[in-house]
Amino acid sequence: MKKVLCLCAVMGLLVSGCACLQGECEPEAPPAVTEPAPSPAPAPAPVLSKGPNHVIRMYDCSCCGAIKLEKLMPEKVQLNQPFEYTITATNLTDMMLHEVVIKENLPAGFKYQSSTPAGKLDGRTLSWTMDSLGPNASEKIVIVGTAEQVGSLQTCANATYIIPACARTEVVQPALALVKTAPERVLICDNIPLQFTVSNKGTGTAANVKLSDKLPEGLKTTDGKTTIDLALGSLAPGQSVSRTVIVRADKTGTYTNKAVAVADGNLKAESGETRTVVTQPILAIEKTGPARDWLGRTISYDIVVTNKGNAPATETIVTDTIPANVEGVQVSNNGQVAAGRVTWNLGTLAPNASRTLTVSYRPSSSGNYRNEARATATCAEAVAAAAATRIEGVPAVLLEVIDLQDPIEVGGNETYVIVVTNQGSAPDTNIRIQAHLEDSMEFVSSSGATRGTYANGVVSFEPLASLAPGAKAEWRVVVKAVKSDDARFRVVMNTQELDREVMETEATRFFE
């Protein structure tokens, strides 16, 4: 018959009660033949949990409150004949018990032979150790031995165990990762967007994340800073945050650098190196034309525009002013003339490429003609070049001398008319007239554009300061015929513009 006893069993007898003494049970009274009432199952030790890492466990100090030992022995055995009995250990709680040790105290007169599972025999104490015993689980032990003397054999077992107060802490390792991107190629006038993405690829929160990027020389933020410093706060596992910062380049060149992200706990991540090439179109312009030309002729100017930079010059536009007082304007390369200006839209000018443009016109008056050509393009500095031409007219004076009467009787007066006409395109200046009289002539009077004086057979008129193109000036000299003669009235003219004098003679017949 299977009996549930405390820890004690007597072969052929039942123990009416047990007391818990230092982990062992001793009988309180002589064995009785009546079966004791079953004891209620002890309550498991309560657990007060505040989280996986904070546990409070209350331990029950009552005897055998966690493990029930059930021992079953035969009622009778024969002397010196092997027999077996069992001990069953049951976990009465809903928790895991650790380091459970069952000890069986073997009495004198019992010869131990074996057990399943195998136990450890130390003197008269046989023990079994279980690393753990699950909630409400049982472990059965079978002991085999022989009785070496007649009488009753009483064996006593006890159990010890550990109910751990287990708390758990989670071990995490945040890990930063940083990716930085920048455009490969930009113009110097472009914004350069630097994009940063910081990620936490670890298993814990990265606290107090900061990003720093020391810009290479020549790059600055829009507010003039040379270092980018960003506070990004905390990043949960798997979280990423992106930021974009705009920088500008002071000069052309290649800019390379890396960014660094740090966080509490000596966390650090470095980006890969970015490389941005900053380029710029550089325009150059030349304008050439004659330094001096003559009125009435068409003059032409050549304008050469070159891109000397390392980037295409887009939306290239060239303009050239047209001076006043010109006519017959002609332009090359589909230039558009409007409001005193020529405009060429050249589109894109590749690096080292050039375009030659031409403008022509005919000045309508003399003077200095100066105008300026100007070239512009996207992201290029505007450039200009001027050319000046001195337009000069050609003075061409005509000297005419006539007598009003011919022939003339001696004693009469003859009037000679001197006419100077500017047939050229420029004023003639400092016009000087001298009239030479022969012996047969006697000076009477002079008049005209300037005052004249007579001396030694010569009438000299004061210089005429200027004679405009197309204009005429007139002088008159009156003489008296004093003797018969085939007379000659000779006039000599000099001007500022003439290298040689001009002479004109008028013949008059004096008779009597």
Q: How is residue 172 written in tokens?
A: 């995490």
Question: E-strand spans in 325-427?
Answer: 326-331, 336-338, 341-349, 354-363, 367-377, 380-392, 397-403, 408-409, 413-422
- The amino acid occupying position 24 is E
Per-residue pLDDT at 390 exceeds 90: yes
d(CA 199, CA 306): 49
pLDDT of residue 94: 87
**Cis status of the peptide bond prior to 117, with omega within 30 of 0:** yes
pLDDT of residue 162: 85
CATH number of this structure's domain 397-511, picked from the four choices 3.40.190.10, 3.30.1540.10, 2.60.40.1530, 3.40.50.460: 2.60.40.1530
pLDDT of residue 49: 57
In tens, the pLDDT along 328-372 reads: 999 999 999 999 999 999 999 999 999 999 999 999 888 899 989
From 101, 131, 137, select the one nearest 119 (Cα to Cα).
Answer: 101
Kindly state the average pLDDT of the residues 256-276: 96
d(CA 43, CA 52): 23
d(CA 333, CA 189): 29
pLDDT of residue 19: 33
pLDDT of residue 53: 52
Structure letter (DSSP) for residue 340: T
**Quick check: 195 and 181 in contact, CB under 8 A?**
yes
Question: E-strand spans in 110-226?
Answer: 110-116, 120-122, 125-133, 138-147, 154-162, 176-181, 185-187, 192-200, 206-214, 219-221
Kindly state the average pLDDT of the residues 49-63: 52
**Quick check: 81 and 75 in contact, CB under 8 A?**
no
pLDDT of residue 65: 63
pLDDT of residue 506: 95
Per-residue pLDDT at 132 exceeds 70: yes
- The amino acid occupying position 208 is N
Each domain of the chain, given as residue ranges in start order, spans: 8-162, 176-279, 283-392, 397-511
Q: What's the distance, CA 426 to chain centroid?
A: 64
- The confidence band for 52, taking pLDDT boundaries of 50, 70 and 90, is low
Q: How is residue 99 written in tokens?
A: 């380091």
d(CA 273, CA 179): 10
Strand partners, 267: 263
Neighbours of 402 (CB within 10 A): 13
From 496, 466, 471, 479, select the one nearest 440 (Cα to Cα).
Answer: 479
d(CA 66, CA 134): 12
pLDDT of residue 392: 84
| Mean of the per-residue pLDDT values of the chain | 87
**Quick check: 418 and 399 in contact, CB under 8 A?**
yes
What separation, in Å, do the N-terminal and C-terminal C-alpha atoms of the chain show? 201
CATH number of this structure's domain 8-162, picked from the four choices 3.40.47.10, 2.60.40.290, 3.40.50.300, 3.90.1150.10: 2.60.40.290
Strand partners, 105: 125, 156
| Residue range 176-279, CATH number | 2.60.40.10
List all residues 6 or more positions away from 133 whose beta carbon is below 8 Å from its beta carbon.
67, 89, 91, 96, 97, 100, 139, 161
Per-residue pLDDT at 259 exceeds 50: yes
Q: How many residues does the chain have?
A: 512
Computed over its alpha carbons, how large is the radius of gyration of the chain?
66
d(CA 80, CA 145): 9
- The confidence band for 407, taking pLDDT boundaries of 50, 70 and 90, is very high
pLDDT of residue 6: 36
**Quick check: 47 and 55 in contact, CB under 8 A?**
yes
- The confidence band for 5, taking pLDDT boundaries of 50, 70 and 90, is very low
pLDDT of residue 21: 32
**Quick check: 325 and 365 in contact, CB under 8 A?**
yes
The reply to whether 397-511 shares the fold of 8-162 is: yes
List all residues 6 or more positions away from 224 whose beta carbon is below 8 Å from its beta carbon.
none
Per-residue pLDDT at 509 exceeds 60: yes
The verdict on domain 283-392 having CATH code 3.40.50.2300 is no
Per-residue pLDDT at 23 exceeds 50: no
From 376, 481, 493, select the one nearest 429 (Cα to Cα).
Answer: 493
d(CA 431, CA 462): 9
In tens, the pLDDT along 81-92 reads: 999 999 999 999
Per-residue pLDDT at 30 exceeds 80: no
Q: Which helix (H) or strand (E) holds 276?
A: strand 274-279
- The confidence band for 25, taking pLDDT boundaries of 50, 70 and 90, is very low
Kindly state the average pLDDT of the residues 488-502: 92
Strand partners, 372: 386
d(CA 156, CA 9): 6
Per-residue pLDDT at 241 exceeds 60: yes
pLDDT of residue 499: 84
Q: How is residue 280 written in tokens?
A: 């710029």
- Residue 473, Ramachandran bin (φ over 0: left; ψ between -120 and 50: alpha; else beta): beta
Kindly state the average pLDDT of the residues 129-156: 91
According to the per-residue pLDDT averaged within each range, which of 44-48, 253-257, 424-428 is highest? 253-257
Kindly state the average pLDDT of the residues 260-281: 96
* Residue that the structure tokens 């100066």 belong to: 370
d(CA 322, CA 338): 9
Kindly state the average pLDDT of the residues 249-266: 96
From 106, 97, 91, 98, select the one nearest 9 (Cα to Cα).
Answer: 106
In tens, the pLDDT along 291-302 reads: 999 888 999 999
